[in-house]
Amino acid sequence: MRISFVFLWIVSQLSGLSWADNTPLIDAKKYDFSLFLDIRYATSNNFTHKVIYPEARCLLRKPVAEALSRVQASLKIRGLRLKIYDCYRPLTVQKKFWELVPDERYVANPEKGSRHNRGAAVDLTLINADDKELEMPTGYDDFTERAHRNSMKGTKKQISNRTLLEKAMEQEGFVGLDTEWWHFDFKAWENYPIEDIPFSTVP
């Protein structure tokens, strides 16, 4: 049995396969109380104009929540904080979004699953000491090219703030989505399984 396990591990390393990481989802707000939540899909202030989530919670895999907390700590030195728009998203919700916007530039195809469905992605922005959002090129869930990470359509201040957020996130292992300045995936997101569990099942 030991030999078989070692053999499988070697094969997986050589073939580029990865082991599934079943680290449970945790409540990021309980892990780091200083996170500011504005979970848009728990309100009607989103592109669907409907309340989608039954409660406003940011659920993430523990390594993702830990990394997000480190980003928060680094920003506090500048007098800034993170404002969270979305974290874990059940696959059932992903299917609803796909029906509304079947465009993989902005909404992940539920057949493949979203990084949000894995608890390994966050949508966020920056706020100052007065809890006011810093200027960004667009608002949240803007489906235009102006929201693209490499777009230069915006003021110098907006572009600078976008870059500041990106660099802070990258330092802790997050990678930004090309078409959404607010969306960041955690490294090795593909190791986490797609979930469709209710928010209420997570302590």
Residues designated catalytic: 180
CA-to-CA distance for 195 and 118, rounded, in angstroms? 6
105 Cβ neighbours under 8 A, 6+ residues apart: 179
28 phi/psi in degrees, rounded to 5: -65, -30
Element (H, E) at 113: none
Whole-angstrom distance between the N-terminal and C-terminal Cα of the chain?
36
Residues belonging to the chain: 203
User: Under a CB-based contact definition with an 8 Å cutoff, are residues 183 and 176 in contact?
Assistant: yes
